[in-house]
Structure 1
Amino acid sequence: MTAQRVPTSVPGLDDVLSGGLRENHNALIRGPPGAGKTIFGLHFLSDGVDNGETALYINLGEPGDYVKETVEHFDLNPDGIHFLDLSPSHEDFDEGENYSVFSSAEVEQPSFIEELRSTVEDLNPDRVLLDPITEFRYLTTDERQFRKQILSFLDFLRDNGATVIFTSQASDSLSDDDLQFLTDAVINLETDIEGSTLHISKFRGSSYQRGKHSYEITDDGVTVFPKLQPGKWDPEQMAETSDKLSSGIPEVDELLKGGIDAGTVTFVSGPTGAGKTTTALQFIKEAAGRGERSVMYSFEESPETIQKRSRSINLPIEAMLEQGTLSIEEIAPNEYTPNEFTSQLKTAVEDDEVRIVLIDGLQGFKQNLRGYTTEPEDVLLRIVRYLRAAGVSTIITNEVSNITGEFRVTEESVSNLADNILYIRYVEMESELGKVIGVLKMRTGDFERSLREFEITEYGIRVGDPLEHMQGILTGTPSFQEDQNDERSRDGD
């Protein structure tokens, strides 16, 4: 449990491994062809070279020239890694007649093992990549002998002080269960048309992040996007906070009894075109005035459209962008896996010190993830729990389909995630289409129960006094109710 960590240099993977591999231990990376097993291992070796360590790559599979091209392509210290190429070559094929009498195991094993041993003893490497270890199967006559040789070789490397990664090509036709049993850690790679994921199924003597984590391979190498781990939320601590986020609109703040509590989750709900995004941006504008940073993830509109619309209502979005108090990230359909998106969000919170996160377009958010998960609500739950624990305020705009008629705040059962629900509603008043705004829920405090007229003008949002004499507003067709004192006064006249 006290073994030092050996970083892999794969961005995100060391987070999953709680700091990296355990020093002087071994790990198995297994997966189908093309999953990136070799590239993961080469990152590990390259990090050792960067830190002045000796790194040895034992190649048992791919042609040596191909492996070196891979190292050079990803700029993984091609001159610093020692290569022992034991892969089959054309010379082996040309001399194939020598194998007519003896089996492969009988002919190759002595010289093969001797070369491995002498190379390790000469170099005394700190890090070793054996790729793939399954080639050892062809040097033994039975499974028991295979397991014995693997254990002996791993013990030999451990005695020489090496931290080892070895790879296995996972397939239905050739099981590697025995290798998983023998190794200290197992990293599983999986690929399909929806993306690539990894998970840790074994890590002796260490904690690790459970679940499936996304990864991608680009020209820069491998990047892992860990599954977001929600922190612990203390509702009592949240209830005691005195920080309030103002909207900058006195009437809205009156509805909210001063504003929304910092670190809570607020839904701004309403039909299309009602002004949800504009209302949400009001809170960000006020936070920017205090020097706080916010990020807006737009799932339905481009940053250009948002800026153009904001200019038309005198909302200073462009100034906030220039000052760095706001960044707008457009999220295109199927652009990110859930873990890629949450990794981006985590970076914004922990590195950029963002204090408000706006998820603009709950339906767009869900649609964006449906290609990768059947439960986007679970991803949203992890996001809001993480942001709550980090003390970050979350605002989510949620579109409902009903323009008027039956009152609905959310299309699906997501309102339970919200600490606060601010809703905007279309209503018909005197044969004209108007809007009202109200508060349905505030988990951490009291709020005004009345509704107020809501309008977006060229000067910004205008909110009126409480509509005290209107009835049936939420049905979409309100009626005017006279005060009883006024009625008695007329009757007396």
Structure 2
Amino acid sequence: MTSTEPPNAPPLSSTGVSGLDDVLGGGLTPYRLYLVEGNPGSGKTTLALQYLLEGLRRRERGVYVTLSETEHELRAIAASHGWSLDGLEIVELVAGEQELEPDNQYTMFQPAEVQLGETTRTILAQVERVRAKRVVIDSLSELRLLAQSPLRYRRQILALKQFFTGRECTVLLLDDRTSEADDLQLQSIAHGVISLEHLSPEYGAERRRLRVMKLRGQRFRGGFHDFNLATGGLEVFPRLVAAEHAELRERSALRGDVAGLDEMLGGGIELGTSSLLVGPAGSGKSSVAISYAVSAANQGMRAALFIFDERFEVLIRRAEGLGLDLRPHLDSGLLTIQQVDPAELSPGELGHIVRAAVEGTDGRPPARVIVIDSLNGYLHAMPEERFLTVQLHELLTFLGHKGVATFLVLAQHGMIGQMQSPIDTTYLADTVILFRYFEAAGLIRQAISVVKKRSGKHERAIRELRLDGRIVVGEPLTGFQGVLTGTPVYKGESGMLMGSNDA
């Protein structure tokens, strides 16, 4: 993202949150007034503290004006993140115990005529004394109550805006939305508006997301962006825009170690394409995907697996049962496995983790193969299912631009006969590999076929797949009809079936 600030403009003011700076196009335009709004618990105070602490690192004095929390509470919040507020000026304007005494209550004058003026004068005096470059006022709901009338409140905010602009201060106004759901008058005054949301799904951990609703004179990334509020502060995961990562790459094929499978695929899986492995549970989808990940590691390329439905230990043992030893590649870093809990991880964070693996910003070599097992788990991680295909399209396009071979595992509903998918993603994938169960010679068998491949030719035959100590792909099942329905009609010799002599 690029800024539209003039060439002689001062550098943008970093928020101290790298993901938010990316969303903002580099940071905040300095010497302006910004509104940060959100319900209680959404992370406004933490973001404000990160902004002021980033200013200290850049030798910019900061003032935190608190009208709702005590200085002790603020320092406790900072300590929970491992921060020290030494060097920050904290102006505490919280009512003390003496305000509870009846003799100290105003009777002849309205509070708006006395308290609002005193509060404003205190704020301005402290900013002047410290010569602050960054100021946070928390929260506006207190000023709104003191002003009592919308006109007085608006004039007060405009006066503060003029004062801070003339002294080259960048100001964050925090609003907890306790008085009004959307203060449009305040949003019109502010140079930019950042909205924080705290969502509570029916099951699983809470979700947080932010949106830049307004930012004058500067390009920013619109839409919602997931973020986490954890020890250490906010971590924002900018929404992935695949068009920003387009680049030309030479295409090459990833060959597997399973005899017959590359022949079906016309020579292998092309890097920079996505493959959807679809079929009923237990039909061999994950095993084939893992075999290609191991093949990539054998060729010196890193493969990253993101598993939703299987425990790490079970995956290791199952791979060993197929003759695939993952441990040497795990030790070398050419194979990484991350177990994903869909109830705890937001789609934005998952996209951020995948992007870090592909770009090598996670401290390991850039991944050339990505396996997501399965899309069913990814679907459950989505708070609103109708946006799954849009996010998945952006992710697959990004991975394609990066020259990554992506394997998506999708479990269909049912075991034998007619199958149903929880969501149709076949049109998104470049290659679709179909798995099926079928019955023949008194045994339940598995079949594999390539029903779609955009790049290059592929075999249209249906072959038998066997998982018995290793992955084996047999000859085309030319003697059967109706294999994909699960109830084939035998019209050839049974010798074409693997292990038919033992049946």
TM over 0.5: yes
Find out whether 1:60 has 2:67 as its counterpart: yes
Q: 1:138 to 1:365 in 2, by over 3 A?
A: closer
Quote the offset at 1:481 in angstroms: 4.1
Cα displacement string for residues 234-292 of structure 1 (whole angstroms, at most 9, x for unaligned residues): 79x68xx5400111223111111111111111011222221111111111111112221
- 1:467 pairs with one of 477, 481, 485: 477
Contact 2:269 2:405 in 1 (8 A): no
Match of 1:366 in 2: 379
Find out whether 1:35 has 2:42 as its counterpart: yes
Match of 1:490 in 2: none
Does the residue aligned with 1:6 lie in a helix, a strand or coil?
Answer: coil
Cα displacement string for residues 18-47 of structure 1 (whole angstroms, at most 9, x for unaligned residues): 222112222101112222211211110011
Match of 2:172 in 1: 165
Contact 2:141 2:178 in 1 (8 A): no
Quote the offset at 1:128 in angstroms: 0.7
Match of 1:314 in 2: 323
Segment drifting more, 294-303 vs 221-230: 221-230
1:456 aligned partner, one-letter code: L
- 1:130 pairs with one of 118, 125, 137: 137
The runs of at least 4 consecutive aligned structure 1 residues that moved more than 6 Å come to 232-235
1:201 aligned partner, one-letter code: M
CA distance in 2, matches of 1:470, 1:87: 82
Quote the offset at 1:409 in angstroms: 8.1
Find out whether 1:478 has 2:478 as its counterpart: no
Match of 1:191 in 2: 198
Match of 1:80 in 2: 87
2:133 aligned partner, one-letter code: D
Q: 1:404 to 1:142 in 2, by over 3 A?
A: closer
Q: 1:110 to 1:465 in 2, by over 3 A?
A: closer
Find out whether 1:282 has 2:287 as its counterpart: no
Segment drifting more, 274-283 vs 118-127: 118-127
Q: 1:125 to 1:416 in 2, by over 3 A?
A: same
Instruction: Please list, as runs of the form range in 1=range in 2, the aligned pairs for 1:85-484 lying within 5 A after superposition.
Output: 85-94=92-101, 96-140=103-147, 142-171=149-178, 173=180, 176-194=183-201, 195-231=207-243, 241-350=250-359, 351-352=361-362, 353-369=366-382, 371=383, 373-406=385-418, 408=419, 410-458=421-469, 460-481=470-491
Contact 2:192 2:215 in 1 (8 A): yes
CA distance in 2, matches of 1:482, 1:426: 19
**TM (normalized to structure 1)?**
0.90
Cα displacement string for residues 171-230 of structure 1 (whole angstroms, at most 9, x for unaligned residues): 464752211110011011222323222211111111222122222322322222333323
Size of the aligned set, in residue pairs, is: 477
CA distance in 2, matches of 1:167, 1:392: 42
Unaligned runs of 5+ in 2: 202-206, 494-503
Quote the offset at 1:126 in angstroms: 1.4
Structure exhibiting the larger radius of gyration computed from Cα positions: 1
Unaligned runs of 5+ in 1: 484-493
CA distance in 2, matches of 1:198, 1:234: 26
CA distance in 1, matches of 2:438, 2:270: 29
Quote the offset at 1:480 in angstroms: 4.5
Contact 2:65 2:135 in 1 (8 A): yes
Does the residue aligned with 2:260 lie in a helix, a strand or coil?
Answer: helix
Contact 2:224 2:239 in 1 (8 A): yes
2:311 aligned partner, one-letter code: S
Does the residue aligned with 1:170 lie in a helix, a strand or coil?
Answer: coil
**TM (normalized to structure 2)?**
0.88
CA distance in 1, matches of 2:331, 2:404: 22
> Over aligned residues, Cα RMSD in angstroms?
2.4
Does the residue aligned with 1:58 lie in a helix, a strand or coil?
Answer: strand
Contact 1:470 1:478 in 2 (8 A): yes
Contact 2:99 2:105 in 1 (8 A): no
Q: 1:62 to 1:464 in 2, by over 3 A?
A: same
Q: 1:232 to 1:218 in 2, by over 3 A?
A: closer
CA distance in 2, matches of 1:174, 1:462: 62
CA distance in 2, matches of 1:284, 1:175: 50
2:376 aligned partner, one-letter code: Q
Cα displacement string for residues 107-153 of structure 1 (whole angstroms, at most 9, x for unaligned residues): 23444333322222222111111111343334546433322221121
Contact 1:269 1:409 in 2 (8 A): no
Contact 1:299 1:360 in 2 (8 A): yes
Contact 1:58 1:128 in 2 (8 A): yes
CA distance in 1, matches of 2:404, 2:335: 14
CA distance in 2, matches of 1:117, 1:361: 57
Seq. identity, % = 30
2:281 aligned partner, one-letter code: T
Cα displacement string for residues 310-365 of structure 1 (whole angstroms, at most 9, x for unaligned residues): 11121021121111111111122412122122222222222141221111122222
CA distance in 2, matches of 1:89, 1:400: 63
Segment drifting more, 287-296 vs 360-369: 360-369
2:70 aligned partner, one-letter code: P
Contact 1:270 1:409 in 2 (8 A): no
Does the residue aligned with 1:231 lie in a helix, a strand or coil?
Answer: helix
Q: 1:275 to 1:98 in 2, by over 3 A?
A: closer
